[in-house]
Structure 1
Amino acid sequence: MSFLKVLRDLLGKRESPALTPDTPGLEIVAEAFDPAEADSSVLARSPGWVPDAEAVLRHHLTLPRERVAEAASILAQDGWDLRERSETDGVVRVEAQRVQVLDALHCAQERSRMAGLAQRLGGDSLGWDARQPGESPTAPA
């Protein structure tokens, strides 16, 4: 392959901006806060979810103040960004966020992982939600 062909191919591909947790216009397209409901059911009942598109997956946790840094360090190893949202009496509500393509298997695996981590650190896993751009051209109307 010639250098010019490679360059032409690279320049010809106009990638859309990378999705981040801070991308403007993100809307919740799926949410699971009932531990008895299967993640496959959550996704099946979520008409706004675009299965082939990336989403910001957010797990909502509560942790003791003194364990937040430890949780952030553990989660960062797999690309999770831990953000503090509020604190009451030494218990911090946090969100672990990561961009990924959603499917039921990975949602279930991560839900289990977050529950185990929160329990190990003396906290609780409340549930998860997923956000995608609201103006997605492939999103159902």
Structure 2
Amino acid sequence: MINFRSVLSRLGLRARSGEPAAPDWDDSDLIVVVSAFDDAEAASAVLARSPEWVETGAAVLRHHLLLPPGAVAQAAELLEPDGWRLRPAPEAEQAAFGTAPAPGEEPLFAERVQKLDALHCSQENARMAGLAQRLGGRAVGWVALQSG
């Protein structure tokens, strides 16, 4: 599937007049600007404590999931219609999960390009937690990436 926002971003164009170009989720210049791995911390507090986060810019929202291998295809099928991609977490980035996968858990990233705000971060976090639980896995946290 073609991600038109990524194509526009690579061309240096804007998705809509006056809006910054959406980041390409495969851009090597993206850096983590927000990190949330404590369920007790509100998304508003997480965003407020980040000096790197640019409120007006789009970001790659990345949820860290641990799912049974047999549930990965179903998770991808449920997420893709809403613009999420599900991919295996590279081994070099698995330490970012803050917890080791249990036997039978596959470390995954669920990613989507979007504008960040506390409400949507909270909603998506709850969605990922519910999805992971239904599929026999767990959602361990999320990060947001923007161009560095």
Instruction: Give ranges in structure 1 of 5+ residues lacking alignment.
Output: 1-13, 135-141
Amino acid at match of 2:59: A
Structure 2 residue 96 is the aligned partner of structure 1 residue 92: no
Aligned 1:15-26 pairs, distance under 5 A: 15=13, 18-26=22-30
Match of 1:137 in 2: none
Q: 1:98 aligns to what SS in structure 2?
A: strand
TM-score by length of 1: 0.81
Tell me, in whole angstroms, the C-alpha distance in 2 between the residues paired with 1:30 and 1:91: 25
Q: How many residue pairs were aligned?
A: 121
Match of 2:37 in 1: 33
Q: 1:77 aligns to what SS in structure 2?
A: helix
Larger radius of gyration: 1
* Runs of 4+ with deviation above 4 angstroms: none
Amino acid at match of 1:95: F
Give the structure with the higher percent strand: 1
Match of 1:103 in 2: 117
TM-score by length of 2: 0.77
Structure 2 residue 135 is the aligned partner of structure 1 residue 121: yes
Of 66, 72, 86, 1:68 maps to 72
Aligned residues: CA RMSD: 1.6
Instruction: Give ranges in structure 2 of 5+ residues lacking alignment.
Output: 1-11, 15-20, 92-100
Q: Percent identity?
A: 55
Match of 1:133 in 2: 147
